[in-house]
Structure 1
Amino acid sequence: MDKNQQYQSVFRHINQNGDGKISPPELQICIGKIGGDLSLEDAEMAAALMDSDGDGMLSMEDLVKVVESANEEEKFSDLKKAFKMYEEIEGSGCITPKSLRRMLSKLGESRTVDDCKVMIAKFDVNGDGVLSFDEFRVMMA
């Protein structure tokens, strides 16, 4: 099942009355089924925030946009955590060849500082010899 089919399946499951839109009460029921607690007022507010056509209900496209946005935020957060693992070693706000070598060593991969300089150079856009978070993010894409 591809991603689009998965979205359609989830949408159909939430859209209990089959009208092609997720209403605030349907959203409230869905959140309740996964263990959350959402008042009808909060469900109405959430639907209004996510709704693209102003009818107060969510279309399939609205649902996909919300899920994709959440996935991007999660990926960004995960990258930040990974970057901090390297960054905290040096405390410099960037990944240095030494900090990269130490982290790779912890992961069981033995590299020299020169090897790490070469690895960093491939993604070091500004040529300062270290990786900023933005350069790290490009590398991980």
Structure 2
Amino acid sequence: MFPLSSSHLQQIFNKLDKNGDGRVSIDELMWLLERTCIDTCRADELELLMGKTSLDFIDFLFFYDMIINVDRNKLEENQDSLIENDLHKAFEVFDSNGDGLISSEELQNALSRFGLWDEHCSSLDCKTIINSYDRNSDGFLDFEEFKDMMLFAKS
């Protein structure tokens, strides 16, 4: 959902305000939310949330801003969830023995399979990479350490 200008919002408000009293009722808001496919609550819950039975234009602007921010937060949460899911799948590729840890050998094998490692590189280099992200100094990368490595490499 993209932000609308205040003139567009004024036009929407005026169309919703059927009786021209300068206020939009909860029912009119519900009608708008249903038509724009925004998941929302029941009318009584919306009234409780808003603390009013109708909104003037300023209240309508605040309501719109709240809806836009909730929608942005959901989008960010969905993106974070997708990234996390992708990282879990990648971790499983690197963790070839399935023990929940990536050793320097597993790292080297995975990088070799991807064509990112050749015989001129040594396993010492993989140990150095692991040590760079190994926060608990156990010589392995757990998922959180792997995630840090992948997100750092991405930026």
Q: What is the CA distance between 1:112 and its match in structure 2?
A: 2.2
Post-superposition Cα deviations, 1:31-60, rounded to whole Å, max 9, x if no partner, equal: xxxxxxxxxxxx6xx423xx9x93598711
What's 1:47 paired with? 40
Measure the CA separation in 2 of the matches of 1:76 and 1:25: 32
**Inter-partner Cα distance in structure 1 for 2:97 and 2:130:** 15
SS of match in other structure, 2:84: helix
Deviations 1:15-74 (A, max 9, x none): 9x845x8603321xxxxxxxxxxxxxxx6xx423xx9x9359871111101101101111
How is 1:1-141 mapped onto 2 (pairs within 5 angstroms)?
7-8=2-3, 18-19=12-13, 23-27=33-37, 46-48=39-41, 54=49, 59-87=67-95, 89-109=96-116, 110=118, 111-141=121-151
One-letter amino acid matched to 2:49: G
State the distance in 1 between where 2:70 and 2:87 align.
Answer: 26
Q: Give percent identity, aligned residues only.
A: 25
Alignment partner of 1:59: what SS? helix
2:22 alignment counterpart: none
Q: Distance in 2 between matches of 1:18 and 1:77?
A: 39
Q: Is the alpha carbon distance of 1:130 and 1:65 closer, same or farther for their aligned partners in structure 2, counting shifts above 3 Å?
A: same
Residues 122, 137 of structure 1: alpha-carbon distance in 2 compared, 3 angstrom cutoff: same
| TM score, norm. by length of structure 2 | 0.59
Gaps of 5+ in 2: 14-28, 51-62
Q: How many residues align?
A: 108
Unaligned runs of 5+ in 1: 1-5, 10-14, 28-42
SS at match of 1:47: coil
Note the C-alpha offset of 1:7.
3.6
State the Cα RMSD in Å. Answer: 2.9
Q: CA deviation at 1:8?
A: 2.9
Note if contact 1:86-1:103 (Cα within 8 Å) is conserved in structure 2. yes
Q: Residue deviations 1:63-86, cap 9 Å, x none?
A: 101101101111111111111111
Q: Give TM-score, length-normalised by structure 1.
A: 0.65
